[in-house]
Structure 1
Amino acid sequence: MFGSKKDPNEQIFKDACKAYKKEDYNKAAELFSDAAALGHVGAMSDLGLMYAQGKGVPRIKQEAVKWWAKAAEGGEVKAQHNLATAYATGDGIQQSYEDAIVWFRKSAEQGYYKSQYSLYKIYSQGLGVQKDEVKAAEWLIKAAEQMYPKAELELGRLYISGDGVEASEKLAVKYLKRAARHGEESAVEVLKDIRGD
């Protein structure tokens, strides 16, 4: 674009990503930290991940959660998911399904399939909410439609059992075949059971 200036913060973030891919974690952490300090939500999210994994920085879950919370407030989808997961498990923060659901929902509503799948798990198991198989299935369908293999497998199973959806062998086979194509080996076994092999 003519006359536009490149965002130097974005360049720092890109350099951090390159360093991470080269497994130069110390440099990546330094650059993510610089970009995060300048307000880059993607850098905040990735810095949180580095603290969670102990790559380039000490492994400190509370520090990971701190960075994910900042990025999540800024609308970063994966940070919202990671923060929600921390709340759900109590890893690095006080466990709270109520807060987990809030952040999973924010991420899921932006289309993040892993958060959609997590909401399926929460509603199907009644974790911090009343068990709701229909609501669980609605979130699972959204994740499966994005070709998330775990969701495709589970949705295939739901169409067999009829939990939260109307039972349909045709739809069960459709999603199980998709799951198998996407690498879910257990989907092949479920398909064999349906066929009676």
Structure 2
Amino acid sequence: MKSIYKLFLVFLFSLKIMSVSANDDYYLNLKKEAASGSAVAQYKLGAMYMIISGDYKKAFYWTNKSAIQGNAEAQHNLGLFYFYGKGVEKNIKKAGYWWEKAAKSGHAVAQNDLALLYKNGQFKKRDCQKVMALLHSSAEQQFDLAYLNIGNFYSTGECVGKDMREAVKWWEKASLKNNGQAEFNLAGAYMRGEGVMKDLVVADVYLKKACSHEYEEACKLVRK
């Protein structure tokens, strides 16, 4: 079984804020609040432009205004705009700049994403100590991708000593959050007996769980 180990960057504009209604009255009131300087309204308006109308330039404009005022959610999203080049020219350094600000405010997703840049030396020089510190800070907030990524590092021996038992421990934490790749990785560990006793029945259970959580690599194997 092939197990794909990679550090995940999270592209999240909508998961936390788009439970709001997008009716005309709400939109007009939100726009007034944003224009009057409300950082929260600016953040929500930026997200609405991105998700509902697909207008990245307006989304960037309002997200930027909110980020400048210190809104950590906006700072994280602004970093994503720069990272992917949506609504603005792609600029990894600026993505890191805003993720660092959000990370310092305790934003778990930004901490995870900033770790990616430190791992690859894309923001500042490669710094394994910083990578692991950021991931552990994110994991302390129970962010599933931080659990996954810490496990991935232990499985490859990158930035930390290789330790499959530790890898399995962190993947199990991510699995409890229904993380499909962590479950896929656990299936591989149980199939090969790495970090755990070999158990093909448990491997099959994790493989099916990974597929149920829409991890396509697992689904390909389940369908065979």
Structure 1 match to 2:49: 19
The number of aligned residues is 188
Segment drifting more, 101-110 vs 179-188: 179-188
Residue 188 (structure 1) shift: 5.1
SS state at 2:54 partner = coil
Q: Which has the higher helix share?
A: 1
Q: Is the 8 A contact 2:211 2:222 kept in 1?
A: no
Alignment of 1:1-197 (within 5 A): 8-21=38-51, 22-187=53-218
Deviations along 1:81-136, one digit per CA (max 9) or x if unpaired, are 11001111122321112111111111122111111111111111111211111111
TM-score w.r.t. length of structure 1: 0.88
TM-score w.r.t. length of structure 2: 0.78
Distance in 2 (CA, whole Å) between partners of 1:57 and 1:89 is: 22
Over the residues paired in the alignment, what is the CA RMSD in angstroms? 1.9
Structure 1 gap segments, 5+ residues each: 1-5
SS state at 1:26 partner = helix
Residue 189 (structure 1) shift: 6.0
Deviations along 1:18-63, one digit per CA (max 9) or x if unpaired, are 0111221111111111111111000000001101111112211101
SS state at 1:165 partner = coil
The residue type paired with residue 20 of structure 1 is: M
Instruction: Work out the percentage of aligned pairs sharing the same amino acid.
Output: 31
Residue 159 (structure 1) shift: 1.3
Structure 2 gap segments, 5+ residues each: 1-32
The residue type paired with residue 49 of structure 1 is: L
Structure 2 match to 1:3: none
